[in-house]
Amino acid sequence: MPPERASDKELGRLLTVEEAAERLNTSPRFVRRLVFERRIPFLKLGRHVRITERDLDSYVRNCRVNDP
């Protein structure tokens, strides 16, 4: 197994569209729309789309609405 690089640690775990949808409790179609509209950062690995856990958590934090 090759040693991890610093950039590998920064990315964290890469989630599939289906895994991201499960964590958001939404459909994969919703996550694909977020990717298509560039509302969430993503990685393209060939034809596969991956979302880092960190980016997904950041998206959720930024969508939070505070009561006045």
Does residue 5 register a pLDDT over 90? Answer: no
Looking at residue 38, its pLDDT comes to: 97
Looking at residue 58, its pLDDT comes to: 96
Residue 57 belongs to a domain: yes
CATH code, domain with 42: 3.90.105
In the numeric block, which tokens belong to residue 12? 């964290």
Residue 2 belongs to a domain: no
Residue 34 belongs to a domain: yes
CB 42 within 8 A of CB 50: yes
Distance of CA 20 to the CA centre of its chain: 6
For residue 44, the enclosing domain spans 11-63
Does residue 10 register a pLDDT over 90? Answer: no
* DSSP letters spanning the chain: -PPPPHHHHHH-PEEPHHHHHHHHTS-HHHHHHHHHTT-S--EEETTEEEEEHHHHHHHHHHH-----
| pLDDT tens sequence across 11-66 | 789 999 999 999 999 999 999 999 999 999 999 999 999 999 999 999 999 999 98
Looking at residue 25, its pLDDT comes to: 97
